[in-house]
Structure 1
């Protein structure tokens, strides 16, 4: 029998919990900010526990919620912590550009003590170290340097063609999960321009570079927990010993970068790639007598960031493009004809200037990135410098954002808003014709972010995507098959945009360029 004291204690605890719940989850109501109704203890994070949706895509569902259609910002709770989802383009512009100094850090963080590879890469590193690092790495991504790396990309493009042809043993077509082929291509391309090595993934899909890339995006409960802490409760990363890269991938990155830098120093070879920059950084650090394990990890961290982000972004964009083109044969034919005419005019090898300026290819890639931005959100932490005023939401709301609050820009929702994009779920490259691009509302198309902390490799990623599409569509076309999904269903377990179950297409060799070149 339960004693009276026990009952009294339970009632007291329930009362205290109720008071805490009403106060904690009444924050946005007290601030007069539109908010999503939370659940006790988990707030608005139900999808993370039910695995029914990616939380990042859920933020776009909040953006699209009919009740929030006129809201400039929406209050949410991640477990018990309040955060903001921005909807109004002018507010987004202020956060990413106008008042960037107050939002110069991502909210997501890696452990600076126990995860030097994670915390020192250009994606996660915090200001002011971020600004210094970005300044030193930026020369890799100038137009001149990208142009110098272009011949390396073309070599991998021809290897991609050979890989496709090797699958055709009888007849002239084969069914494949197209994302994996795109990932093999992107891995080889990133390896050569970021690491200065031949990964040979297209020749050997089980090569170490590709295996490590697979493991980075592979879902496990442990990885899911680490990413949850890093992105939503960053103050716990040290206590929970969270690491961005697994011990195996960390060892691979350290070993590979150390070997490549040593070989580059011995040979004195200049390839105009990331390794050249890392060699220069190492010399600078040694001159200051500061070279140690942490600084070695800083060098490896940059290559790791470009491997994992670079291969995933390009391969996803190419595979989504091929899916949409397979469903619109008329648009695919138009693109292939443009590519083929340019190839014939330049004897089968497009110049850097030509591939970057093919009008319809550019329109197709831009539209794919509108529908499928690789990372569907941008996260920022509100943290003004000493002496700076705090950011407020006037004239929309009389609310001042507190220090340390997470602020999210739901790119996926923004880029599929019918207010800015008529029939937003329809693949229509004409949206990006020169005439229509002039009509786009600023800050409603930001697949690579915007402002000082936009994606440093955005232009490189666009070029990689275009190289991949050119070399696939040059002599091949794609079509739907029995295994092709009727519609894209995003994998709720993925941090980035992936179709659940993959994207299967039939790849057909029709020798379009070969035939055209003989005419």
Structure 2
């Protein structure tokens, strides 16, 4: 009996190894350079064992083959093309965008009706229609009226910090905790119309739900890649990425708020109001706001897809899905940008003092008044934020799914065959690697806002700076995110001096146990009250 069990086990192992060998032969057949994959896990071994951050594995692959137009990577058994060539990147994101319209399937609407219907996960014509519906909500004219909400949240933060920092030595704080609480309260106010003070009420429900929805540690990282690699299997197993209680909380919050506003005829210029307008078909582009030259260097412009007028009815679940996406994006990605901005300002005091001087100059010039124009007119502020987003892009990579077979051409000058990416296969745009390539950004590990000065920013090669993506699938909330980061820095630096703490991670090193950007040991800085 034991003999037959061992025999069948040996046959099964042999069959798996043979299947893997055939699956992993695709890149080699066409001369596409790649690292040798392991059976079943592909090139995911270091991430599964928490030996290195995803950033490191993507960097290693990008820089190992400098003469390639594109390289290969296996995420478990799924072949992924990683783009290295700028001209190819232009084709994929703009010229031949219709071949790469969608993101990879992570979560389906059938499995998770709320999260599976958001702007990021929608596909095809549905995505186009939703993008057109939501685009008018993110113009500068709409964000302008939300700045007072951001300022109010910032005032709460400063008041809390001043109570904590009573002596000249200041206080060491984990800036990730600070910025996450700030971002949480901004989203609560600007998106949901709620007044929350997470610096005082440390464990309020809105904050704890946000932490649970966006803190992707090892299990969530593993589940994320498994879902992308085996979406059908995950659907059949009813595996969920977002906890059910989080989904219920946000659905109830959005629908109850909408119902209350309808009943009491409440009008507040926030995202809930804009979603209600979208449902009624009343959300349209302001002719004056379709171009926003003052939004900042990192801002991405809306494509023709987002500017089309559509007439489509959306369900309550569709609107809840968008509100939830705003929350997750605002909670994690914006707080990440803020966290690394504070880190770089703490370890680069010369940059900090120059930015403080600009803030004080504008503060005096405006008589202490603070609004949207105050932020957009600050040149050095924009340089600093642009460089933070280069060095620490919150979206370290982005992806596309090929929806129609596409000829990528030859991977290199020695290849003899063109490589066709097939329908359903994935493609990766390695944002972090482009931003850290010395060919595009000399001395790339140095924090240098001068790269974005009037004298230098024209030297930045198009398509090499991608903090909010590129093409029609770019980040719809770039203006909101930039404004929020700048408001936070303005208020904090006006009142606080930043410096390294004893536990500050110098030099910066990423923790490998989180899919998000986290420094080893935490994001510690010291704050002191300014005189």
TM-score (norm 2): 0.88
The answer to whether residue 442 in structure 2 is matched with residue 433 in structure 1 is no
Match of 1:380, SS? strand
Q: Aligned partners of 2:411, 2:75: CA distance in 1, in Å?
A: 26
Corresponding position of 2:406: 390
Q: Aligned partners of 1:395, 1:33: CA distance in 2, in Å?
A: 6
Cα deviation for residue 220 of structure 1 reads 5.6
Corresponding position of 1:480: 500
Corresponding position of 2:432: 412
Tell whether the 8 Å contact from 2:333 to 2:394 is kept in structure 1 after alignment. yes
Cα deviation for residue 272 of structure 1 reads 2.6
The answer to whether residue 399 in structure 2 is matched with residue 399 in structure 1 is no
Tell whether the 8 Å contact from 2:221 to 2:514 is kept in structure 1 after alignment. no
Structure 2's unaligned 5+ residue stretches are 283-310
Corresponding position of 1:27: 26
The 5 A counterparts of 1:90-489 are 90-171=87-168, 173-219=170-216, 222-283=219-280, 295-384=315-404, 390-393=406-409, 396=412, 398-489=418-509
Tell whether the 8 Å contact from 1:42 to 1:80 is kept in structure 2 after alignment. yes
RMSD: 2.4
Q: Aligned partners of 1:454, 1:95: CA distance in 2, in Å?
A: 13
Q: Deviations over 1:370-389 (max 9, x none)?
A: 011102000110003xxxx6
Q: Deviations over 1:410-430 (max 9, x none)?
A: 111110001111111110000
Tell whether the 8 Å contact from 1:108 to 1:379 is kept in structure 2 after alignment. no
Q: Aligned partners of 1:467, 1:352: CA distance in 2, in Å?
A: 9
- Greater shift after overlay, 78-87 or 389-398? 389-398
Q: Aligned partners of 2:6, 2:504: CA distance in 1, in Å?
A: 59
Tell whether the 8 Å contact from 2:436 to 2:444 is kept in structure 1 after alignment. yes
Q: Deviations over 1:194-217 (max 9, x none)?
A: 111112213322111111111123
Cα deviation for residue 58 of structure 1 reads 1.9
Match of 1:319, SS? helix
Corresponding position of 1:516: none
Corresponding position of 2:290: none
Q: Aligned partners of 2:403, 2:473: CA distance in 1, in Å?
A: 15
Q: Aligned partners of 1:264, 1:221: CA distance in 2, in Å?
A: 40
Q: Aligned partners of 2:162, 2:440: CA distance in 1, in Å?
A: 42
Cα deviation for residue 332 of structure 1 reads 0.7
Q: Aligned partners of 1:261, 1:501: CA distance in 2, in Å?
A: 42
Change (3 A) 1:390 1:478: same
Corresponding position of 1:60: 59
Q: Deviations over 1:110-139 (max 9, x none)?
A: 122120111111121212111111111111
Change (3 A) 1:418 1:7: same
Tell whether the 8 Å contact from 1:184 to 1:201 is kept in structure 2 after alignment. yes
The 5 A counterparts of 1:27-46 are 27-46=26-45
Structure 1's unaligned 5+ residue stretches are 512-519
Corresponding position of 1:517: none
Q: Deviations over 1:171-220 (max 9, x none)?
A: 46111111111111111111111111112213322111111111123356
Tell whether the 8 Å contact from 1:188 to 1:202 is kept in structure 2 after alignment. no
Tell whether the 8 Å contact from 2:250 to 2:324 is kept in structure 1 after alignment. yes
* Aligned residue pairs, count: 499
Q: Aligned partners of 1:320, 1:64: CA distance in 2, in Å?
A: 24
Q: Aligned partners of 2:523, 2:466: CA distance in 1, in Å?
A: 25
Tell whether the 8 Å contact from 1:194 to 1:306 is kept in structure 2 after alignment. yes
